[in-house]
């Protein structure tokens, strides 16, 4: 995701932003925030039920296909045999879809956008609690979190920042970040976001003379 040059640019941008502010910026980049295997399972179950529904809606058509496939001309279908065909079709459809959903790009494509947003937000909150929340003397930590596969980002601030800055203020930083990401410039996107965040922090939480650098400047890749 990042070159060594990108990593150095991000660390330098964090250090520069913190020179003018009491805020402590933490940057985290992850390839993907969730596996979404439950979504793959849900799709597989749905496809299996659709197979059963299709057999129920047009039994003569599908049983006719079976007759022609196996040369069962004039075959009289008993309820037990029909049930066997239905269960077999459902199991085959379920397993086939489950196998297809093992392909990560397809699983991501078929995951609804609200689910991806919720999972990215949840992972960002976890990272924030571990890496930034309450880890500075004045509760001035702020996380810039980027999830590459979902193409989503989160900015979460600790208590001292959140009390002075509403979440909407980070919109410019998010826009700057995602614009560069779409162009394939991950490092530049993080630097742009850091600069925007730094400008807001400098305005609302100016650096004190005795301020200490309490959190690492380097980007964290998880």
* pLDDT the model gives residue 74: 62
Q: Between 186 and 82, where is the model more confident?
A: 186
Q: For the chain, give the mean pLDDT.
A: 89
Q: Is the pLDDT of residue 84 over 80?
A: no
Q: CA-CA distance, 43 to 37, in Å (whole number)?
A: 10
The string of DSSP codes covering 15-74 is HHHHTTBS-EEEEEEES-S---HHHHHHHHHHHHHHHHHHHHHSHHHHHHHHHHHHT-TT
Query: Domain segments of the chain: what residues?
Result: 4-34+113-221, 37-109
Q: CA-CA distance, 67 to 108, in Å (whole number)?
A: 38
Q: Note whether 67 and 6 are within 8 A (CB).
A: no
Residues 6+ apart with CB under 8 A from 15: 213, 217
* pLDDT the model gives residue 70: 67
Q: Is the pLDDT of residue 133 over 70?
A: yes
Q: Between 217 and 58, where is the model more confident?
A: 217
Q: CA-CA distance, 163 to 207, in Å (whole number)?
A: 17
Average pLDDT on 36-63 reads 88
Q: Note whether 117 and 174 are within 8 A (CB).
A: no
* pLDDT the model gives residue 211: 80
In this structure, the dihedral spanned by the alpha carbons of residues 140, 130, 40 and 113, taken in order and rounded to 10 degrees, is 0
* pLDDT the model gives residue 56: 78
**CA distance to 60, 76, 121, per residue, from 213 (Å):** 74, 81, 27
Residues 6+ apart with CB under 8 A from 96: 47
Q: Note whether 133 and 125 are within 8 A (CB).
A: no
Report pTM.
0.85
* pLDDT the model gives residue 216: 85
E-strand stretches of the chain: 24-30, 141-147, 152-157, 220-221
* pLDDT the model gives residue 78: 74
* pLDDT the model gives residue 207: 87
Residue 9's pLDDT band (boundaries 50, 70, 90)?
very high
Q: Which class does domain 4-34+113-221 fall in?
A: alpha beta
Q: Is the pLDDT of residue 1 over 90?
A: no
H helix count then E strand count, the chain: 9, 4
Residue 126's pLDDT band (boundaries 50, 70, 90)?
very high
């Amino acid at each position: 995701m990042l070159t060594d040059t990108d990593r150095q640019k991000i660390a330098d941008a964090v250090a520069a932003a913190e020179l003018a502010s009491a805020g402590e910026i933490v940057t985290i980049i992850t390839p993907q925030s969730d596996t979404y295997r439950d979504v793959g399972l849900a799709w597989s179950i749905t496809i299996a039920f659709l197979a059963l529904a299709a057999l129920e809606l047009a039994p003569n058509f599908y049983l006719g296909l079976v007759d022609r496939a196996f040369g069962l001309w004039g075959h009289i279908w008993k309820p037990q045999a029909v049930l066997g065909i239905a269960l077999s079709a459902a199991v085959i459809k379920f397993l086939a879809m489950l196998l297809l959903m093992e392909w990560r790009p397809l699983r991501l494509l078929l995951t609804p956008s609200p689910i991806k947003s919720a999972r990215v937000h949840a992972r960002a909150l976890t990272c924030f609690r571990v890496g930034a929340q309450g880890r500075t003397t004045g509760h001035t930590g702020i996380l810039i979190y980027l999830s590459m596969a979902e193409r989503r980002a989160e900015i979460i601030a600790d208590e001292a920042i959140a009390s002075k800055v509403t979440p909407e203020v980070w919109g410019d930083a998010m826009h700057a970040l995602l614009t560069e990401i779409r162009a394939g410039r991950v490092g530049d996107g993080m630097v742009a976001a850091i600069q925007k965040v730094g400008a807001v922090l400098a305005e609302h939480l100016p650096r004190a003379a005795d301020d200490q650098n309490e959190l690492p400047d380097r980007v964290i890749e998880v």
